[in-house]
Each structure stands twice: as structure tokens, then as C-alpha cells.
Amino acid sequence: MALFVDGPAAGIDDLTNQDSGLLDVAQTCGINVSTKIALAHDEIATDLQLWLDRPRPSMDLVWRPVLRIEQVVVTLTLKRWETMQSLSLFYRDAYFSQMADRYQAKWDEYAKLTRTTYEKYLASGMGLVNDPVHVAPAPLLGSVAGPQQGGVFYASIAWLNAAGKEGAASVASSIAIADDHLMTVSAPGAAPANVTGFNVYAGSSLSAMYLQNNVALPISGSFTYVPGFVTSGRLPGVGQTPDFMRPLARTLLRG
């Protein structure tokens, strides 16, 4: 899964899957849904940091150094907690905007669900990785001469650390390539200090961007995509899975 610090775990689709009338309420009440999601993410970040700052047994510190929020992975329970927290904040604003009982009921419902998902996260523990790999930025695309038919092509990249662990793939970039040319893919700017290379996912559609390289590409290198050379395989990933789980003690949940 993606690192928590890479951005909100929940998206607007996650909220509307839970509450189909959300966007209508947002329009009626003038509420920015993305802002509520970002606020929920920030509030949960504070709770996660409080857990990480709690004192640990001295022997625990010997075999595992001080943990950082950059190491926290978005698990399914953490994503659901953030979704419910976002909905609770959204309907709280809707209620105070319109002072309507129907929004008060929704606020109460999602506040209860927030606590339920919070308790489930406590029970499952905090997922962490030893060497976090951040989501990569969108790649830079170009072209070189090559004996291929042109078209519109898409590419995404993902950073790799020394152990070969892959971070979440970037958003895709697209480019129109003329006939007798090939698309080139490169990583923009400087990579994080622990990144040693990157993977390229590319294809002729967003739903068919397959892993193109067999070995990690050097950070300063460029990859030339040949349409039709790879037609199946691994699609862009969502990042690292936890290396270990940290048990959590209960703290006061806001709201």
C-alpha cells in the first residue's frame, strides 16, 4: 500500500461509494469534499504521531530505532478510518451550514462509524516499513526516431530502494507520438536519498500500462518504449506492504 505521508488514503470515490448523495449535499451546502478529506488526513496524522511518540520499552528501542510517520503504510483499516472521519467532518459542516436535522443524523452516524473503524485500526495495529519509498512524480516523456507506428501512449514510474522494494506508482503522463518515432520515459528531478532506481509502466491505454523493464533503471537514465513488445504482466502498484505491525494503545479520539 502507499505510504500515509504520500497523501490522503481516501478519495472522493471512496466517500461516494459509502454515501451516494454526498456530491448533491456538497453542491447544496457549498462544501469542498477534497478539503474535508485533507482535514481528516491531517487529524489522523496527529493521532499517528502521538502513538509513535509514546514511550517504548528500552529493549524495543535496541532492536528497532525510533519510528517515524514516514514509515506508516496505508492499510485497509487505516483507509476506512480516514473515509469515515472525512464523512463525519463533511456532515458536521453540512449541519452547521443548514441546521437541518437530516444532516445531524448523518453526522452522528458517521461519527459512530469513525469510532468503530478507529477501534478496528487499534485492534489490527499500525503497519510500518523499515525503508519507506515515496510515491514517484509523474515521468517526463519524449520521443526518438524509431520504426514504429505512432499514437497516444501513457507511462507511469515507481521508485525502488536498494532492497528492490517499490513505492507507489506515479500518476500517468501521456504523449502523442508521430509515426516513425518511439516514446522515451525518464524520471524528473532528484530522487529521494534511499532510491536507487525506478520501474517503468507503459502502454497504449491507462488500463494496460504493463511493467516494461526487467531490472531497475538508473535514476538518471531513460527508457525507450516499444509498442507491442510487452502486452501483459504487472500493472502499476500501490506501494509497499508492511514489514511489521506495531501494537497500539488506546488514546482519546477527537470529535
Distance CA 71, CA 76 (A): 16
* Residues of the domain holding 82: 4-132
What pLDDT sits at residue 131? 96
Question: Which among 100, 132, 164 is the end of a domain?
Answer: 132
Q: 106-157: per-residue pLDDT in tens? A: 999 999 999 999 999 999 999 999 999 999 999 999 999 998 999 999 999 9
Indicate if 56 and 114 belong to the same structural domain: yes
pLDDT at 101 over 90: no
pLDDT-based confidence at residue 251 (cuts at 50, 70, 90): low
Domain tally, the chain: 2
**Phi, psi angles (nearest 5°) of residue 2:** -70, 160
pLDDT at site 63: 53
Name 102's Cβ contacts closer than 8 Å, sequence gap at least 6: none
**Span 159-184, pLDDT tens digits:** 999 999 999 999 999 999 999 999 99
Return the DSSP state at 120.
H
Mean pLDDT score across all residues of the chain: 93
In this structure, which amino acid lies at residue 35? T
Q: Which among 208, 253, 255 has a CA at the least distance from the CA of 50?
A: 253
User: What's the whole-model pTM score?
Assistant: 0.88
Residue with grid cell 485533507, as numbered in its chain: 38
95 torsion bin: left (phi>0), alpha (psi -120 to 50), beta (else): alpha
Answer whether residue 100 is part of any domain: yes
Residues 109 and 9 in one domain: yes
115 in a domain, yes or no?
yes
Residues 103 and 163 in one domain: no
Contact status, residue 34 vs residue 11, Cβ threshold 8 Å:
no
Whether residue 97 has pLDDT greater than 90: no
